[in-house]
Every structure is written in C-alpha cells, then in structure tokens.
Structure 1
Amino acid sequence: MKSLVARLRGDKVIWAIVFLLALVSFLPVYSASTNLVYVIGKGSTLGYLVKHLGHLFLGFAIIYFVHKVPYHYFRALSIFGIPLVIVLLLYTLFQGTTIGGANASRWIQIPFVGVSFQTSTLAFTVLMVYVARYLAKVSDKEYTFKESLLELWLPVFAVLVLILPTNFSTTALIFSMVCMLIFIGYYPLKYLATVIGLGIAALLLFLLMAKAFPTNKLFSRVNTWGNRIERFMDDKPNEDDYQIEKAKIAIASGRIYGLGPGKSVQKNFLPQSSSDFIFAIIVEEYGLFGAIGIMFLYLLLFFRFIINAQKAPTLFGKLLIIGLGFPIVFQALINMAVAVELLPVTGQTLPLVSSGGTSIWMTCVAVGVILSVTKKEQEVALDQEEKMKREETLKRIIDKEIELEELNNNKEEKEAKNPLEPILNQ
C-alpha cells in the first residue's frame, strides 16, 4: 500500500478528497438501491453495490493512468478528440437508446460489453481541453473575431447543437463553463458578448422551430423543459411535481442528526434516488452534518483547484485546471440546489457520489488531467527516472540475451569445426 501511495503524483489533497467522496458514496448508493430492488423489482442491493464498486475501481484506474501522462500531450489529443465526439454525438442523436423510459439519444450501447455510455459527458471534457488549448495558443497573438469564430466557436456550437435537443441542462452547463473559461483566458469581452448574443438567438430559433414542428423527434424534450420551469415558478402545489416534493420531505426528515444509515424512507418513493437525488437521501440519513460534510469536501476541492491553478507552470495548465475542475464543483452545487428546490429539476448527478458509470469515469478523466498538471518538477523528474530505470533494465536484459546467443553460436561453430571435441572433453 505504501509503495502504491508513493507512486501517486500530483496534489495529495485532491487525491484524498476524491477518495473520501468515493468512500462516502457507498452507503447512500447501497441504501438508495433498495428502491430499484423492492419497489421496481430489478436486481439486488448487493449487485448494485458491486456494480458501483466496479465503476469506482475503474474510475481510479483511469485517474492513475491519466495522471501519469504529461499534460501537454492533451493539446494534440483534444484536436483529434473534437471530430470524434461530434461523430459520436451524431450517432447518439439518431441511434441512441432509451434508459428507464427516458428520451432516447442520450446514451449509446457499447458493443460486446453491455454498458451504456452518455456521450455528452465525453464531449464536455474534450471540449474544455480544446478551448484551453486554443486560448493558450493565441494568448500572445493578435486575432480577429472571424478567426476565433472558425477555430474556436464552430466546434463549440457544433457540440452544443448536437446535445441541446435531448439535454438542455448539460448544454447550458457546457456553454456557461466555456464562457467562464474564455473570460478567464483573456478573450476580448466584446467578442464574448457577441457570442453570448448569438447563443441566445440560436436558442430562441430552436424554440420557435419546436413550436412550429411539435411532433418532430428532435423537439420532443422542449415541452418537458417548459413544464419544469413552469412548475418551479408556480407557487401552487402541482401533482406532477413529484420528485422535488419527495426530496424536500427527505431533507426535512433528516433534521440535524439524520435517521441513520440505511433508514431512509423516501428512497422507496423518490425516483432516481441513487443518482439525481442522492443528496436528499444523504441528508435524510445523515442529517445536517452529512450535508455540511459533503459541501465541505466539494468546497475544499474547489479551493485546491484555485491554488493549483495559480501554481501551474503554463497558461495551458492553469486553464486545464479551471476548465476541468470548476465544472465538477458547479455540477455538485447544481445537484444540491435542485434537491432543495433552488433550481428546477435538471438531471445533473453528484460527481463521484451518485451511481452511474459514465459520470464517474469522465469525472475521473478530468481529475487525472488536473493531477497531471499539479505534478511538481521533482515528481516529473522521478517519473523520468523511473522511465530511464525501466529502459536500462530492458536494455540489460536484451544485452544479456544477445551475449548468450553469441556464446551459443560460438559453441556451435567450434563443434562444427571439430566434431570429436565433445568426446575428447569427456
């Protein structure tokens, strides 16, 4: 165990927080899974716990291998990644599967594995790296709005347009995070204001098209968005406002100390209790102290991102930490705000705590990239030293094999010259 910890590079506080969030998730996910088992009659609680453990184990493996990669390699990967995610989003939009009765075109099924994958989360990560790369590249150059429109905003809007028809909340989160990163990256404010205006105009055009063609599959989610906003703004009780009411009952039942691990009642009535509304179950079982503990971990993670962004050796490294780290914390705040009805229902999970493979894995990819940036010069030198040692060991093995082969060849040559030599030696 000590040798494994010694091989970990990057900010140890981030490592510790991520591990704690993953550890905290086990009991709430195990408890909330009873809704799927005893109410819906699907699977077993132990099966869901093992599945969640598998997702986290693979997630930490992703963090480990990604954080070993020098972060400047992600520049080139983002260039090749943008066309890939656009193709995946196109495929998802027209060939996506339906999970739990939700609208199709959010998930694709990975062949031969039986695992569903939400492509918008991959697109989010790749897009933030791509934007960070572009801002770092043009930081010391003069450029026009037209140049940035083609190289920067065309890929951004291509990704947003393909996600919007099925997932408005993710589209809004991506667009706001991109604008935040661009603002921090010293992009001209007049250009940014123009782009925000174009984005609002494009959204209005999409809504008008949805009104004109209400039966089209691409616009099938628009009514759902409108209903959620209307229910959120309406003070009167609404029979359709089921999820949020159950979440508020769960939070109110938790009080200060909570009902205790596994003793949640609302998990049996609250849909998505192990994913979208896991925070409500945590508060019900662990009370105000549990809620404060979760928020403290995310805020501490946020402060570590800020500190490491200031220490990053390059502008690209700073923008990577901000672009990949801040969305993790903001998504967590959105999830908690939905549970207490500060925001309409969005479907955003609680990073590293909610069940769900895609969310965990892509969060782990982001954390791995951030940890790669936070590696100190001494740690980079240690990685290089380990690499050199491996190469030297491999070279010695190859040299030894060559030496043995030469000895065997010489022996065979001698035997060929004097076939009686082995008999004489005896």
Structure 2
Amino acid sequence: MEITLGKIFRGDRVIWIILLLLSLLSLLIVYSSTGALAYRQASGNTVYYLVRQLFFLGAGFGLMLLMVNVIPVKIYSMVANYLVYFSIGLLSLTVAFRFAGIGEGSGRTLGLGPISFQPAEIAKISLIIYTAKILGKKQKTKGDLFKAFKRIILYTIVICGLIFLSDFSTSALLFATIMAMMFIGRIPLKYLALVIATGAALIVLIYYGADLIPDSVSRAHTIKGRIERFIHGDPNSEKGITQADYAKLAIYEGGIFGKGPGHSDVSNYMAAAYSDFIFAIIVEEYGLILGAGVMFLYLIFLFRGVVIVRRSTRTFPAFLVTGLTLLLVFQAMINIGVSSGALPVTGQPLPWVSLGGTSLLFTSIAFGCILSVSHQNQVNREVQKQPVQVNVPDEDVEMEK
C-alpha cells in the first residue's frame, strides 16, 4: 500500500503531510466558523460550507496529483509569456467591468457565466512563473541582469497596478514577492532600492491625495483609512465592534489551551471569521499551542522549499519554487499578523485553511508546481545514482586477452 501511495503522491512527502494536516484543520475550523454564515446564506444548513470546503480541497488535491504525475516542469516555462498576457487581459476586463458597474462591487471578482473567480489569483502565479523564467535565463552578465530587471519590472508594474485598483493588499503581496525573487536572483540592489523608494513615494502620494481620487477609480480612501486606523486607532474600537477587536478578543479568550472544538463565540459576530481572521478562531478554539503549531507548519514548509531549491539542478525550477514558497508563506504571515493585531487589516486568507472556492484551486496550483519540481529533483538524483555502463567492443576484448 505504501509503494502505491508513494508512486501517486510524488514529490516532497513532508509538504504532502503538511497539506493533509492543514486540510483537517481547515475542515474543522470552517465548519465551526461558518454557523452564522450558514443561517444568513444557506437557510441554516450548517453542513453546506463543510461539504463545499471538502469538495474544493479534494479538487485541489486532484489538481496537484495531476500536475505532479502528468505535467513536466518545463511546460510552465514554455507557457509563461502566454500566462502573463492572459492575466493582463483578465485583469483589464475586470477593471472595465468595474467601471461599467458590472459584476461584484469591489471589482475583484470576474464572473463568466456560472463561474466566478478573482483574476488576481491567476496573475500572481503567472507573474511568478514569468519572473522565474527571465531570472533563469539572464544570469551570466551584468547586462543580462539589467535586461531581466527591465522586463520583470515592466510586467510587475502593469499587473500589480491593475490589481491595485481593487485590491491593495494582494498587489503589495505580489510586489514584495517579485522584489524578493529579484534580490535572490542577483539583481543589483541599486535597481531594487529605486523601485522600493518609488513605491514608498506612491503610497505617501496616495495617502495625502486620497481625497482627490474618486472611489470609482481606486481604493485610495480604503488604503488611507486602514493606515490611519493602524497608526491612530479605529474610532469604532471604543465601542469594541471592529473586526480587529473581535479577533483580539478571540485570541484572548482562547488562551493557551483554547475553549474546545466548536465552542467559538466570537465567530458569530465576525463577518470574516472563516477567511481573513480564521487564525484568531483557531486560537480561540484550540489555544495558542495549536496556533503556534500552525505557524510552525508554515515554517517547515518554508524550510522544505529551501531544500527543494538547493537540490534543483536548473535555474528556472529553483526560482519558481522560491517565488511560490515566498508568496504562500508571506500570505500566511500576513493573515496571522492581521489576526493578532500586529499588521493593518487586509483581505488575505490563510493558505489552504480559510474558506475558499476557486481560490483554493489556484493555491493548489502553486503547491502543485512546488511538488512537481521536488519530484523532478528526485528523478534527477535517481538518474545520477545509476552506474554508467561502458560497452567494450569484442575485438578490444580479444586484444586484451
């Protein structure tokens, strides 16, 4: 049985175990934290969101197995350019729909018939794949590095700019990941410092010029409001009714050992208990011990990502794993930081744990790419271990005799 499972679940086994543990936690905490949501939107059927989460987790595992067992890693490099163009097209279409008043109010979701998804999820993976491809090819000279920087930063500005119009936190997360990839890819610090300084100046400009920008153009007012609430505090905190206040209360009530599975009270009052603040509900029910355990799982995943990178024999797979691992770990740390009050409130779910639909499938694609590279590394090591057979012609044998 173990041999059969080993042939199916290829790649880094530690990552597979982490995904299994996070899946079990996801099912438990989603079922517990969606009670109020079920009464609002599912006619009181509290099992609905549990079954929904189970379906998407299962579909995610199926997608990862397909990627690891069927799709070669080099395919991602071959389609990188097309994925970036496709992402820009989807993001542009989403922005156009928003200005036209079509679709979801925040402008993040694109609905195509019965299917709705966030194009930013596709754009994140596409831009990381493209960046990995360019960094992998342009490493020989300083001129190559400068060419790589220009090509990467061009598409980064376009994609992050389009995402920025409706989702600042995702735009900033993706931008930080690309900057980290370029730093690891030996892009000169003077270029990166110039970009960071420009980005900081843009944030300052948005903060002081938010009142001059209409809400229909960007979320500048939302960004300014979140910055002010983080620095000066939220006026609504005096009443104790903000999402951040509920999250802190959940962590406080959870204490070290928690209140027990299904005993969360705070989740009944939080609008995003099952997504953006799900870590707080985990601590409320299972305590700081399990909360620390969740953080430890993501740190182990980060360590395994480093191991996979070091074992890679080619540059593209190494940069691909670097970018996707950093993206997932950054997102997890942001969710944990927001839930604990260490960071301003954003809209980042906890990867593979928060309630999700198509977003879970896109997350599984990121994990699938990492596992595919890990499997490729294992195959390469097995090939290197095989003894080299040298066929000696018969006439040479006769001469030796």
Q: Which residue is equivalent to 1:45?
A: 46
Per the alignment, in what secondary structure is the counterpart of residue 166 of structure 1? coil
Q: Which residue is equivalent to 1:233?
A: 231
Deviations 1:236-283 (A, max 9, x none): 744586101111111111112111111100111011111111111111
Q: Give the counterpart letter for 1:232 in structure 2.
A: F
Taking a change above 3 Å as real, the CA distance of residues 244 and 206 of structure 1, as seen in their structure-2 partners, is closer
Taking a change above 3 Å as real, the CA distance of residues 231 and 261 of structure 1, as seen in their structure-2 partners, is same
CA contact (8 A) 1:349 1:359 kept: no
Per the alignment, in what secondary structure is the counterpart of residue 11 of structure 2? coil
Q: Give the counterpart letter for 1:93 in structure 2.
A: V
Q: Which residue is equivalent to 1:410?
A: none
Instruction: State how 1:130-149 maps to structure 2 within 5 Å.
Output: 130-143=130-143, 147-148=147-148
Deviations 1:170-202 (A, max 9, x none): 111111111100000011112222222333444
List runs of 5+ in structure 1 lacking aligned partners.
Answer: 384-426
Separation in 1, partners of 2:192, 2:378? 39
Separation in 1, partners of 2:178, 2:238? 35
Structure 1 moving runs of 4+ over 6 Å: 380-383
Separation in 1, partners of 2:377, 2:177? 29
CA contact (8 A) 1:254 1:286 kept: yes
Q: Which residue is equivalent to 1:192?
A: 192
CA contact (8 A) 1:351 1:359 kept: no
Separation in 2, partners of 1:63, 1:84? 22
Q: Which residue is equivalent to 1:393?
A: none
Q: Which residue is equivalent to 1:88?
A: 90
Q: Which residue is equivalent to 1:407?
A: none
Pair 1:218 & 2:217 matched: yes
Q: Which residue is equivalent to 1:290?
A: 290
Aligned-residue CA RMSD (Å): 2.6
Pair 1:19 & 2:17 matched: no
Per the alignment, in what secondary structure is the counterpart of residue 375 of structure 1? helix
What's the CA shift for 1:234? 2.0
Q: Which residue is equivalent to 1:170?
A: 170
Separation in 1, partners of 2:306, 2:283? 28
Per the alignment, in what secondary structure is the counterpart of residue 156 of structure 2? helix
TM-score, normalised with respect to structure 2: 0.87
Q: Which residue is equivalent to 1:124?
A: 124
Separation in 2, partners of 1:79, 1:43? 46
CA contact (8 A) 1:283 1:290 kept: yes
Per the alignment, in what secondary structure is the counterpart of residue 79 of structure 2? helix
Q: Which residue is equivalent to 1:387?
A: none
CA contact (8 A) 1:96 1:108 kept: no
Taking a change above 3 Å as real, the CA distance of residues 144 and 209 of structure 1, as seen in their structure-2 partners, is farther
Separation in 2, partners of 1:349, 1:128? 19
Instruction: State how 1:341-380 maps to structure 2 within 5 Å.
Output: 341-376=341-376, 379=379
Q: Which residue is equivalent to 1:107?
A: 109
Deviations 1:339-398 (A, max 9, x none): 110001001000000011233112111111111111256646999xxxxxxxxxxxxxxx
What's the CA shift for 1:312? 1.1
Separation in 2, partners of 1:152, 1:245? 40
Q: Which residue is equivalent to 1:405?
A: none
Q: Give the counterpart letter for 2:298 in structure 1.
A: Y
Per the alignment, in what secondary structure is the counterpart of residue 362 of structure 1? helix
Per the alignment, in what secondary structure is the counterpart of residue 106 of structure 2? coil
What's the CA shift for 1:41? 6.3
List runs of 5+ in structure 2 lacking aligned partners.
Answer: 384-401
Q: Which residue is equivalent to 1:315?
A: 315
Q: Which residue is equivalent to 2:395?
A: none
Separation in 2, partners of 1:28, 1:223? 33
Q: Which residue is equivalent to 2:64?
A: 63
Q: Give the counterpart letter for 1:23 in structure 2.
A: L
Q: Give the counterpart letter for 2:230 in structure 1.
A: F
What is the percentage of aligned positions where both structures have the same residue? Answer: 38
Match of 1:72 among 54, 71, 74: 74
Deviations 1:70-103 (A, max 9, x none): 2122112111101100000011112259xxx974
Q: Which residue is equivalent to 1:8?
A: 9
CA contact (8 A) 1:96 1:107 kept: no
Q: Which residue is equivalent to 1:421?
A: none
Separation in 2, partners of 1:128, 1:194? 21
Deviations 1:296-337 (A, max 9, x none): 111111111111111111121211111001111111111011
Separation in 2, partners of 1:234, 1:182? 34
Separation in 1, partners of 2:302, 2:78? 27
Separation in 1, partners of 2:202, 2:230? 24
CA contact (8 A) 2:138 2:148 kept: no
Separation in 2, partners of 1:47, 1:39? 12
Separation in 1, partners of 2:179, 2:66? 30
Q: Which residue is equivalent to 1:401?
A: none
Question: Size of the alignment, in residue pairs?
Answer: 377
Larger displacement relative to structure 2 (32-41 or 328-337): 32-41
Separation in 1, partners of 2:128, 2:299? 21
Deviations 1:100-133 (A, max 9, x none): x97421001232xx33201111101110111111
Deviations 1:127-149 (A, max 9, x none): 01111111111111442787446
Q: Give the counterpart letter for 1:311 in structure 2.
A: R
Separation in 2, partners of 1:141, 1:46? 58
